Chain A
Amino acid sequence: MPRTLKKSLPHIALLGYLLVVLFPFLFVLFSSVKKDNNSIALNPFGIPKEFVFNNYVEAWVNAKISTYFFNSLYISVLASVVSILLASMFAFAVTRMRQGKWNTILFSLVLIGMLIPNNALMLPIYTIVRKLHILNTHWALIIPYIANAIPFTIIILAAFMRSLPSEIEEAAVMDGLKAPGIFAKIIVPLTVPAMVTVFIVNFLGNWNEFLLANYFLSNDELRTLPVGMVQFRDQYQMNYAQMSAGIVYSVLPVVIIYAVLQEKIIEGVTAGSVKG
């Protein structure tokens, strides 16, 4: 008996922690199908006696979830893809092309980018974006997002490309391929696994980004999901049931993606933590 107790103690502690992590989600999920604040107050912890799905309909309309969702989706995907394209060209040049010391100089320069606390650069970026006359358009987010992800993306892709054996392109050169051909036909296809990892990290970073999205856009139609949700909260603060439905909408896609890709996401995001 003491032995089984000893074995189950860690599980008890861990299940306790799991409860702390998961219960807030359940609380919101349960609240989202309750009638109003009053029924949340009367029965805060449990499953409601009758399910009210109207909150979901109302939240979808009032919070304009569909608009924000697609804004977030296309901004995040576009910015992540362009970052990867530009960063992979750069990484290819500095790891596979033979330019002597320039390879090292350029690569070290980009490494410095990792050490810069990026929130502190927000104000100059605000002025740049304004001078480019793209403030209050989606480009005000897309271009800084592309730029922001470049140092990290280069570092991960360069590390991966360096590990590819050099015989590969020697054979390609024999076959008459030029550098762009080697890049597009040989190196990029081989780098796809690393690209998937950085894509996930960049995508999540852009999808969740709040500061720039909050201050660089003022037109409601352009907002991304995190900013739109905060605004929705400020407007419907008194109606917690509906707000919970809104939270469910914005959390659900991430949870579904996570359920499918968890291994890849954990690997990518923890590799990304080198970024600090």
Chain B
Amino acid sequence: MNKALKNPLIFILFVIPALTLFFVFFIYPIFSSIYYSFTSWNGVSDTVKYTGLTNFKKALGDERFWVSVKNNGWFILFSVFIQVPLIVFFSLLIANVKKLKGLYKTAVFMPSIMSTAVIGILWGFIYEPNIGLFNKLLGLFGVEPIYWLSDERFAMLSILITNAWQWTGFYIVMVLAAILSIPGELDEAAAIDGATGFQRATRITLPLIVPIISVVIMLSIAGAMKAADIVIVMTKGGPAGSTEVMATYMIKYAITNFKYGYGNTIAVLIFVFTLIVTALYQLLFNRRSERIEY
């Protein structure tokens, strides 16, 4: 009776369109990237010259490339050590207040649905040295104007703050959902046993949300490795290349300077570094992330 659902021809017709796009835009690009990473192709000419590991040696020996790797690293460190504690703190607070819960949730989530480009422009204005919000605020305390985005000491920090401002609320909502799915009896039992609110938060809730925190960290790492648009919009990698990240470094060479082969080398390196960081994180911290069943 299920003949209608066993027709292979119709099956093929149904999967082909999506599958074609998937092969053309996911599978083929990976192999194409790997192939061109060993060449000095400029992206347009007919001849493709194989250059072996030259591009890789050049990238790994380029100080500017390592600056960009380091900046991706800053993205990761900033989210793990500054954002994650804030995320946990604020989601615990929101979970435990009785009034205005919905308002807090809605408001903190809002920046994460907006375009990073527009957020970059908005924060560019906030960082503006003469009339921007930051310097005006600091000016109240007598601090001299700081050139946030054009001073090498502050440019990267300014980008990290903007990025955190955009994404912290998103993760708060994720963690909040996990906290609210913990059955209330656990908390009530502890309260009857005389545990204070603080004790319940740190001894009951926190251990139970470790898996979701782990997910948040994984997502932050993935996000950090592909950060690009915020840097392009806010500083274009400047001043003097100090805020370049791997993706912008790649774009700078491949699209702006026609070093297509070299750009693909960087793409492959982004891929490899992402794998390494993810694997390291899984090995070091994620051994005991078993599923929690209630």
A37 in contact with B115 (CB, 8 Å): no
| Tally of B interface residues using CB under 8 Å | 92
B247 within 8 A of A: yes
Query: A-facing mask of B80-105, CB < 8 A → 1, else 0?
Result: 00000000001001101101100111
B143 within 8 A of A: no
B219 contact set on A, CB distance < 8 A: 273, 276
What is the CB-to-nearest-CB distance from A8 to chain B, in angstroms, rounded to a whole number?
10
Query: B-facing mask of A113-146, CB < 8 A → 1, else 0?
Result: 1001111111111111000000000000001101
B38 within 8 A of A: no
Per the bound structure, the CA–CA distance linking A27 and B218 in Å amounts to: 33
A270's contact among B8, B104, B177, by CB below 8 Å, is which? B177
B126 contact set on A, CB distance < 8 A: 24, 27
Q: Which residue of B lies closest to A100 (CB)?
A: B6
B-facing residues in A76-129 (Cβ within 8 Å) = 86-87, 89-90, 92-94, 96-99, 102, 106, 109-110, 112-113, 116-128
Query: A-facing mask of B210-242, CB < 8 A → 1, else 0?
Result: 000001001100110110110011000000000
What is the CB-to-nearest-CB distance from A166 to chain B, in angstroms, rounded to a whole number?
9
Per the bound structure, the CA–CA distance linking A234 and B26 in Å amounts to: 34
A220 within 8 A of B: no
Per the bound structure, the CA–CA distance linking A233 and B107 in Å amounts to: 26
Interface residues on A, range: 35 or more
B232 contact set on A, CB distance < 8 A: 210-211, 214
Per the bound structure, the CA–CA distance linking A143 and B18 in Å amounts to: 12
Question: Could you list 7 A-B pairs, sorted by A, with CB under 8 Å?
Answer: A21-B169, A124-B36, A127-B43, A150-B22, A179-B7, A180-B10, A258-B110
Interface, chain A (partner B; CB < 8 A): 10-11, 13-14, 17-18, 20-25, 27-28, 31, 37, 40-41, 44-45, 86-87, 89-90, 92-94, 96-99, 102, 106, 109-110, 112-113, 116-128, 143-144, 146-148, 150-151, 154, 169-170, 173-174, 177-180, 182-183, 204, 207-208, 210-211, 214-215, 225-227, 229-230, 233, 240, 243-244, 247, 250-251, 254-255, 258, 262, 265-266, 269-270, 273, 276
